[in-house]
């Protein structure tokens, strides 16, 4: 079945440093979504990418969808302590199911 791999599993940065998490699928995706889960919280939708090569920005966050629609990345510029949490990618396949990556836990040292 469809698998979505996400790396790294953990990332610790100093406040102000950049952060990137990567997502790779074993199959071509119809779309990819990104969610953020704060410690003790629930996943919250950030963004969706649908088109090949698509790039979207939300303030300090930049999301990319690969040309082959099999990989994606989330880059945060100049991290802040409010960025702490687990970032999940979720890939859409040919059925109703979104397959979530295992997430990248970001911790930020102030």
Give residues 71-90 in contact with other proteins (rule: CB under 8 A). Answer: 86, 88
Asked if 23 touches other proteins (CB under 8 A), the answer is no
Minimum distance from residue 90 beta carbon to other proteins (Å): 8
Q: Out of 37, 62, 77, 107, which residue is the one contacting other proteins (CB under 8 A)?
A: 37
Peptide bond into 58 cis (omega under 30): no
For 23, the token pair is: 């997502």
By CB under 8 A, is residue 105 in contact with other proteins?
yes
24 binds other proteins (CB under 8 A): no
Nearest CA-CA partner of 103 in 25, 33, 37: 37
SS3 49: strand
CB 79 within 8 A of CB 18: yes
- In this structure, the number of other CB atoms found within 10 A of the CB of residue 56 comes to 15
The residues that touch other proteins, with contacts defined as CB under 8 A, are 30-31, 33, 35, 37, 41-45, 48, 50, 86, 88, 92-93, 95-100, 102-103, 105
């Amino acid at each position: 079945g469809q698998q979505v791999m996400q790396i790294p599993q953990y990332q610790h940065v100093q406040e102000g440093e950049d952060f990137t998490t990567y997502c790779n699928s074993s199959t071509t995706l119809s779309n990819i979504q990104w969610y953020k889960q704060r410690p003790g919280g629930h996943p919250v939708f950030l963004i969706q990418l649908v088109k090949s090569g698509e790039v979207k920005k939300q303030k300090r966050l930049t999301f990319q969808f690969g040309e082959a629609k099999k990989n994606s990345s989330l880059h945060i510029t100049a991290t802040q302590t409010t960025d702490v949490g687990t970032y999940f990618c979720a890939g859409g396949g040919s059925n109703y199911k979104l397959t979530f990556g295992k997430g990248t836990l970001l911790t930020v040292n102030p």
